[in-house]
Structure 1
């Protein structure tokens, strides 16, 4: 009798498949309930990628061992943060406080034009909701302060990112061992490609944020808009979120410009528009030419989907999540199809596997 008709073998295969489906379903449900924590783990991974990239850069230039270069990268990151807040912290804090105090006056024209209630109260409610939704630590410890929980999450991301960057191979090997022996080389290569793509993207995005912040500060200072440093920092930070971030950054700047006259507001709007055109068409393509190139429509839908599913934290991490998912789809789905049909030129997908970049994504 054929093995395919053996009732015992058939039952065994059915039980294995049913068990696999059940385990997969349990993991999906657990992942949904732990989605905020998983997003924080991903944020810590991004920070670890940044530390590893800086360490590799220092090791390449100085020919130092990678361990010493890692220590220098952590020390350099700490000194840069301390130096920034020491040199500009007082001025930045003063301008942020002035901007916050002027917020009600800046929002009144919007309230009058739209005939709505207090936008300031709505923004405050949204901010509190955002902090509480992304505050895993406050839920665990039962903390009443959403802001304290947000700071605790930030510390958690930094500390976890440090440990991930200290021994990345340890965690990679742990993930690889979860898969069958025959699949482990492919899983390891996929994780390496995802890590490389995230490093390239993160370095490019960080440089773009610095350039945008610098250009914004110079332009606002030349125009004579108050709180130029605070507005420039806001523009640089919100540059991390494509499409929506630059719009949100321009709102307080244009509102402050309106306080000095319509012509100043027009100059500010033109400045922000020019910087975004320069960033989108020149700065980012040049800086991120070695990373995965995400189509604009895909990036937009990724932000909307992440916002609906995961809230504010999902919006913040939507683009790097999309980068990781695109590399995963390419390695798990597109690349095997391309390899299987290598002998059929008409079916070729024209995919380049160099350094995590694919023409399929361009």
Structure 2
């Protein structure tokens, strides 16, 4: 390699990267704290960007449906009205779900509180009956030497430690709640600005990329556009799948005359927004509510849930969500499994659209290389290996 000025710059840049990498390894704790502080500073804006991206999906549909013919200032007013309608729609869905679930859950907890004293009295009567029938039990209990003062002292110390820990955690929780409210407010305001001026901001990003990285600008914009389209399709498919699952449960529970059919179906549809495994949360709450009415029906409800879950997880979900993002059904299952095992719920939400983007890019690169191979050899790519 000729050591001209250009190559010297490359070597200098490589040396700087190696020095920074070595410094990072030697000062990993300081680097971690610095990254944590920086992440805390920009987290409201990251959250606001995520909120804007999610809200943009229904807002874009409302805007196309109601205001597609508007231009100029009317178009800008249509954007604000569409955003307001979208927020009202989201708030209405949350309100309906809470209105259907929370009252029934409260009544079930009240019923459970009423049954606890009866259970305690039955248990006490059973214990008295057992000691009457088996006097050796009472004799054995009387021979036990129990230091009640020591037990009371340890209990008092334990309660005191719990109270101090509770007070300390209460302060931490209050501070965390206040910080969370402030973060959410900043993110919400930032998302509104992004949604109202998304075309202008998008144009500015393109200008910056073409000005500073002209060689990579088109590739970055292409991948970003593909990722945005894929994530939007994933959100739409996820919502469609949740509605289908809720309808299946409502029809089956109505036919089989289960209690709380509408409420449990809405809850399962709402929690099913978490890919594949979110509906289990709705199953747990639904089984608990039905258990208060009839333990046998709760058992049959769990069997019904497992049956519909198998149908949804292996047939409906891969086809509805997989087709919306252009990912084959088998890779949807693989993506959700790997994402859930590595990053939990967040991994499930991100794995499918991320794998879809990688799958599309790999497919495009493969087709391009096959085309180049055909041009060089004059053979078909699919027969090249034979």
Q: Deviations over 1:312-349 (max 9, x none)?
A: xxx2x323422453355357666445424422258969
Q: CA deviation at 1:296?
A: 0.7
Q: CA deviation at 1:195?
A: 0.7
Q: Is the 8 A contact 2:234 2:353 kept in 1?
A: no
The more displaced of 75-84 and 188-197 is 75-84
Match in the other structure for 2:285:
252
Q: Which structure shows the bigger proportion of residues in helix conformation?
A: 2
The more displaced of 234-243 and 92-101 is 92-101
Q: CA deviation at 1:206?
A: 1.7
Instruction: Give the match's secondary structure for 2:324.
Output: coil
Match runs of 1:303-322 below 5 Å: 303-307=340-344, 315=345, 317-322=346-351
Match runs of 1:56-71 below 5 Å: 56-62=60-66, 63-65=68-70, 67-71=76-80
1:12 is aligned, of 1, 6, 9, to 9
Match runs of 1:330-341 below 5 Å: 330=359, 335-336=364-365, 338-341=367-370
Q: CA deviation at 1:183?
A: 0.6
Query: Structure 1 CA distance, aligned partners of 2:101 and 2:264?
Result: 9
Q: CA deviation at 1:153?
A: 4.9
Match runs of 1:72-111 below 5 Å: 72-81=81-90, 83-84=92-93, 89-99=98-108
Q: CA deviation at 1:205?
A: 1.0
Query: Structure 2 CA distance, aligned partners of 1:244 and 1:300?
Result: 10
Q: Is the 8 A contact 2:325 2:353 kept in 1?
A: no
Q: CA deviation at 1:305?
A: 1.1
Distance 1:291 1:102, change over 3 A: farther
Distance 1:92 1:243, change over 3 A: closer
2:324 is aligned, of 266, 277, 290, to 290
Matched, 1:168 2:198: yes
Number of matched residues? 305
Query: Structure 1 CA distance, aligned partners of 2:249 and 2:311?
Result: 12
Q: Is the 8 A contact 2:237 2:324 kept in 1?
A: no
Q: Deviations over 1:188-221 (max 9, x none)?
A: 1111111111111111112222333344355446
Larger radius of gyration: 2
Matched, 1:54 2:58: yes
Query: Structure 2 CA distance, aligned partners of 1:290 and 1:300?
Result: 19
Q: Deviations over 1:267-325 (max 9, x none)?
A: 21233234334434236624652314243122111122113xxxxxxx2x323422453
Query: Structure 2 CA distance, aligned partners of 1:39 and 1:57?
Result: 28
Q: CA deviation at 1:78?
A: 3.2
Query: Structure 1 CA distance, aligned partners of 2:277 and 2:249?
Result: 17
Stretches of structure 2 that go unaligned for 5 or more consecutive residues are: 25-30, 120-168
Instruction: Give the match's secondary structure for 1:295.
Output: helix
Match in the other structure for 2:163:
none
TM-score by length of 2: 0.61
Distance 1:92 1:152, change over 3 A: farther
Q: Is the 8 A contact 1:190 1:331 kept in 2?
A: no
Query: Structure 2 CA distance, aligned partners of 1:216 and 1:153?
Result: 37
TM-score by length of 1: 0.65
Match runs of 1:139-178 below 5 Å: 144=174, 146-147=176-177, 149-150=179-180, 153-172=183-202, 177=208
Match in the other structure for 1:326:
355
Instruction: Give the match's secondary structure for 1:290.
Output: helix
Instruction: Give the match's secondary structure for 1:49.
Output: helix
RMSD of aligned residue pairs (Cα, Å)? 4.3
